[in-house]
Amino acid sequence: MSSAILKVSCQDRKGIIAATADFISMNGGNIITLDEFVDRTSNTFFMRVEWDLKDFTIEQPEIRNAVDALAADNSFGGNWELHYSDGLPRMAIMVSRFDHCLWDLLLRHKAGELKCDIPVIISNHEDLRYIADLFGIDFQVVTKSAENKTDAERQEFEILDTCGADFVVMARYMQVLSPDFLSRYENRVINIHHSFLPAFEGAKPYHRAFERGVKVIGATAHFATADLDKGPIIHQGTLQISHQDSVDDLITKGRDIEKRVLSDGVKLFIARRVFVHENRTVIL
């Protein structure tokens, strides 16, 4: 059964939920879920409401205009974002040589856990082509270095445009994307960092965690921004460790957290549950 998903972020005021619920009810819709949150510091209201379209009297092509009229007639302002459950987003994956996150994403997708299309996998190495072949997914290699980064990203843009990618997942893609790339896909590039941010940003976080004698390690799924490892956090996970664990132990154990956190973060994004507010997220 197809459903509509409406994401709202605007200045808080009375009547937003009531007006939205009335709009859905009066047009024959049945609300499936409704979640809301108010950030008191900025007085910002967030809402995610989903309703089934079985008996909805407004035809799907006209719902967008009706929602715009609802917001305008009540002077709510803000952002009213409409999606449909049967409109699968297209996820492009970028990888280098580490394969654990890629395997996890593809297996979960095959099992129906990730409700999206995967039109392409882009890599700066040939190593993981065999995995893409196993799943019947197009694999494109774009070699990248400091000297050819601009040309390489131009090739990546062409690939992403051609396949109609809606968002990008960096599944341990060991390259820093340019500000130009990130501005084109603002809040649509999901990265997995093998540390519980904001601790141990940058390279070799497990080595630095070992040196500090930490008792937990973690992973963070976040939106990539021009400020490396400082983008809005989507999802995190941790695991207890001890003084008996070596650096290699931390890396091995950490890979399990990385793939789970990345997949869970992607699920939240695909389900239209993630709102970006300043440099953090609200998950509804």
Question: Is a pLDDT exceeding 80 seen at residue 199?
Answer: no
CA angle, corner 119, sides to 99 and 203, nearest 5? 35
pLDDT of residue 241: 84
Using 50, 70 and 90 to split pLDDT, how confident is the model at 163?
very high
Q: Average pLDDT, stretch 169-179? A: 95
> Among residues 99, 104, 166, 229, which one is catalytic?
229
Residues 81-127 have pLDDT tens digits of 999 999 999 999 999 999 999 999 999 999 999 999 999 999 999 99
What is the arithmetic mean of pLDDT over 246-268?
91
Give CA angle at 52 (51, 53), nearest 5°: 120
pLDDT of residue 94: 98
Decide the pairing of beta strands 167-170 and 90-95. parallel
pLDDT digits (tens, 9 = 90+) for 24-69: 999 999 999 999 999 999 999 999 999 999 999 999 999 999 999 9
Integer Cα distance of 270 and 283 in angstroms? 12
Tell whether the model's pLDDT for residue 21 goes beyond 70.
yes
Give tens-digit pLDDT for 210-231.
788 888 888 999 999 999 889 9
Q: How do the domains of the chain map onto residue ranges? A: 3-84, 90-283
- Is 229 catalytic? The answer is yes
- For the entire predicted model, the pTM comes to 0.93
Res 152 pLDDT > 70: yes
Predicted confidence at residue 250, as pLDDT, reads 82
**Contact status, residue 114 vs residue 102, Cβ threshold 8 Å:** no
What pLDDT score does 197 carry?
A: 60
Contacts of 120 (CB under 8 A, 6+ apart): 92, 93, 137, 138, 139, 140, 159, 160, 163, 165
Please tell me which residue, 154 or 204, carries the higher pLDDT value: 154
pLDDT greater than 80 at residue 263: yes
Q: What is the mean pLDDT of the chain?
A: 94
- Which is more confidently placed, 193 or 78? 78
pLDDT of 243 higher than 90? no
**What's the fold here for domain 3-84?**
Alpha-Beta Plaits (3.30.70)
**Confidence (pLDDT) at 35:** 98
Res 153: pLDDT: 97
Q: Which CATH superfamily is domain 90-283 in?
A: Formyl transferase, N-terminal domain (3.40.50.170)
Name the pLDDT band for 1 (thresholds 50, 70, 90): confident
Sorting pLDDT into bands at 50, 70 and 90, what band is 194?
A: confident
CA dihedral 183, 131, 251, 259 (to 10 degrees): 60
